[in-house]
Chains A and B, each alone.
Chain A
Amino acid sequence: MSIKCEIVSQDRKVWEGEADMVVVPGKSGEMGILENHAPLLSTLRPGYIKVVHGKDEEIFTVTGGVVEVLPDKVTILADASERVDEIDIKRAEEARKRAEELLKQTPPSTAEHLAAQAALMRAKLRLEAVQRFRRGKRHPQVQSGTSEESGE
């Protein structure tokens, strides 16, 4: 029993394959999608997509978008999506620092301030994804390196 899954963002196809279950962060809550799900269209909020296939599990970050569910297929139109293994920790960390700087400098509720907030949210999402989900990398070093952010 499996369902086809496709994750695409505007400038690339992020992933495509078979899955037993796809978990997406729907606007009104997490949804686990199995085969023969009723046709559904939902917007997504920032979070993680989990694709389960047998014993394997793939995790992707997503910053928003739309998911289309058909009985045999799940299509995710993501604003931006990255596989956890693809995430560049250093870049995410830099992005977080930059966003935090910007937040301090810009007056609240201006366009720049909101943009910085969104950027900070994305950076944190990626860092947290690495910390929580990256396989075989749960060394104490990584844990301690990113544990400061988990307290937010």
Chain B
Amino acid sequence: MATAREVKLRIRSVKNIAQITRALQAVSASKVQRAIAQVEATRPYATKAWEVLTHLATQPGREHMHPLMTRRAEVKNILVALITSDRGLAGPYNTNVLRFTLKRFADSPVPVHYVTIGKKGREVLHRRGKHIIADFSGIPDRPKFGDVSHIGRLLVEEFLEGRADEIYLIYTDFINMLRQNPTAKKLLPLEVDSGEQRVQQFATSKRVIPAYIYEPSDQEILDVIVPRFTELQVYHAVLESQASEHAARMVAMKNATDNATELADALQLEYNKARQASITREMLDIAGGAEAMAQAMAEKARKAAAKAAEG
């Protein structure tokens, strides 16, 4: 059994760990809130842009859509933009989204290329020998639109140049503090009539839109909106992922704090036992010593008495 002193040292170190994890937990909790607020802020633009987009795309007499909305007959290359975190200690967050990605594209008949956003994803894909064409790690906390818009621009360019025929965005959807789901979304070609619930949502709430006057032309308006909308989707996914990352980290840190507290309690018991044992031992020593002393004294007294009796 460890000595009381050793146990005491361990208790102190465990308590220090608990203190650190508790601080990290608090930091993550506030970051989740901020990220959610940012996601909310993108909603007005996204809603409106989507509305205009669906309207333009469903206009009668539109044979040729925007190039970014045209489905390719043959898919020869797939590009996947994967969002993970730069830092660890986030519980199962990175593992989940990575496992999801690898499984999703495990038996793809065509080559899959990757764009990684986040160091953790880059490391794993690199180890697995996947083909990474670009990496955008080091996105700041609380990113502004300008911090991520170049990612969207790169994806649009890859698509337009024909180096990718389908582009997917994989991120972690924030549902609540305890649930975050890895999600794959087809980013390009942009499908307006895909079965997304957003379409239904607009279809039910929609007034009859009269024919618009286009200035200078509907094509030019699409040219402005479609790439912006793509960039916005990437921005949105980054924010969702950050909210998920912080939520996952918060839960992981809470578990760590709980474990540390439990461990400290158990160690405290052990310490009490060890201390008690050493006290008992000392008591025995003292008692034994006293007994021996008393015996020695008694012996001495007896001898002295015997001597006196003789004399």
Which residue of chain B has its CB nearest to the CB of A27?
B216
- Check: B52 CB closer than 8 A to any chain A CB: yes
> Which secondary structure dominates chain B's binding surface?
helix
Closest approach, in angstroms, between the C-beta of A98 and any C-beta of chain B?
A: 14
- Total A-B residue pairs with C-beta atoms closer than 8 Å? 73
Contacts of A10 in B (CB 8 A): 42, 45, 145, 228, 231-232, 235
B190-235 with Cβ < 8 A to chain A: 209-216, 218, 220-221, 224-225, 228, 231-232, 235
Say whether B215 contacts A42, CB under 8 Å.
Answer: yes
> Which residue of A6, A8, A11, A68 is within 8 Å of B38 (Cβ)?
A11
Q: In the complex, which residues of chain A have a beta carbon less than 8 angstroms from the beta carbon of B209?
A: 39
Q: Which A residues are CB-close (under 8 A) to B41?
A: 11-13
Q: Does B126 interact with chain A (Cβ within 8 Å)?
A: no
Q: Knowing A11-B41, A11-B42, A42-B214, say if A64 contacts B48 (CB, 8 Å).
A: no
CB of B237 to closest CB in A, whole Å: 13
Bound complex: CA of A79 vs CA of B223, how far in Å? 13
| Cα(A46)–Cα(B262), bound, Å | 61
Residue A146, interface by CB 8 Å: no
Chain A residues positioned under 8 Å from B56 (CB to CB): 41
CB of B44 within 8 Å of the partner chain: yes
Alpha-carbon separation in the docked complex, A12 to B40 (Å): 9
Residues A31-51 near B (CB distance < 8 A)? 38-43
A75 interface residue per 8 A CB criterion: yes
Which of B48, B211, B218 is most buried by chain A, counting CB atoms within 10 A of its CB? B48
Q: Please encode chain B, from 15 to 42, with 1 for each CB lying within 8 Å of some chain A CB and 0 for all others.
A: 0000000000000000000000010011
Residues of B within 8 A of A26 (CB): 215
Q: Do the beta carbons of B52 and A11 come within 8 Å of each other?
A: no
Q: Are A8 and B221 in contact (CB under 8 A)?
A: no
Residues of the B chain whose Cβ atoms lie less than 8 Å from the Cβ of A8? 44-45, 48
Q: Chain B residues near A117: list those with CB within 8 A.
A: none
Is B49 an interface position by the 8 A CB rule?
yes
A77 on interface, CB distance cutoff 8 Å: yes
The answer to whether B220 touches A27 (Cβ under 8 A) is: yes
User: In the complex, what residue of chain A is closest to B235 when comparing beta carbons?
Assistant: A10
Residues in chain A near residue B163, CB distance under 8 A:
none
Size of interface on B: residues with Cβ below 8 Å to A: 28
The answer, among A11, A13, A38, A77, for a CB contact under 8 Å with B49, is A77
In the assembled complex, which residues on chain B have CB atoms less than 8 Å from the CB atom of A28? 215-216
Q: Are A13 and B221 in contact, CB atoms less than 8 angstroms apart?
A: no
Q: What's the Cα separation between A6 and B31 when bound, in Å?
A: 29
Judge whether B144 is part of the interface by a CB distance below 8 angstroms. Answer: yes
Q: A10-B228, A43-B215 are in contact. Are A68 and B52 (CB under 8 A)?
A: yes
Judge whether A27 and B42 touch: CB under 8 Å.
Answer: no
Q: How far is the CA of A75 from the CA of B209 in the complex (A)?
A: 14
**B216, A43: Cβ atoms under 8 Å?**
yes
A42:B228 contact, CB within 8 angstroms: no
The answer, among B38, B44, B52, B231, for a CB contact under 8 Å with A41, is: B52
Residue A2 at the B interface, CB < 8 A?
A: no
CB distance from A74 to the nearest CB of B (A): 11
B144 touches A6 (CB 8 A): no
Q: List B residues 236-287 near A (Cβ within 8 Å).
A: none
A122 to B165, CA, bound (A): 35
Q: In the complex, are the beta carbons of B48 and A77 less than 8 A apart? A: yes
**B38: chain A residues within 8 A (beta carbon):** 11
Q: Which residue of B lies closest to A12 (CB)?
A: B41
Cβ of B212 and Cβ of A41 under 8 Å apart? Answer: yes
Say whether A66 faces chain B, with CB atoms less than 8 Å apart. yes
A76 to B24, CA, bound (A): 41
Find out whether the CB atom of B213 lies under 8 angstroms from the CB atom of A40.
yes
Q: Chain A residues with Cβ under 8 A from B212's Cβ?
A: 39-41
A-B contact pairs, 14 of them (CB 8 A): A6-B44, A9-B45, A10-B42, A10-B228, A10-B231, A11-B38, A27-B220, A28-B216, A39-B213, A41-B214, A43-B216, A66-B221, A77-B45, A77-B228
- Sample of 5 more A-B contacts, CB < 8 Å, known A26-B215, A41-B218: A10-B232, A10-B235, A41-B213, A66-B224, A77-B228
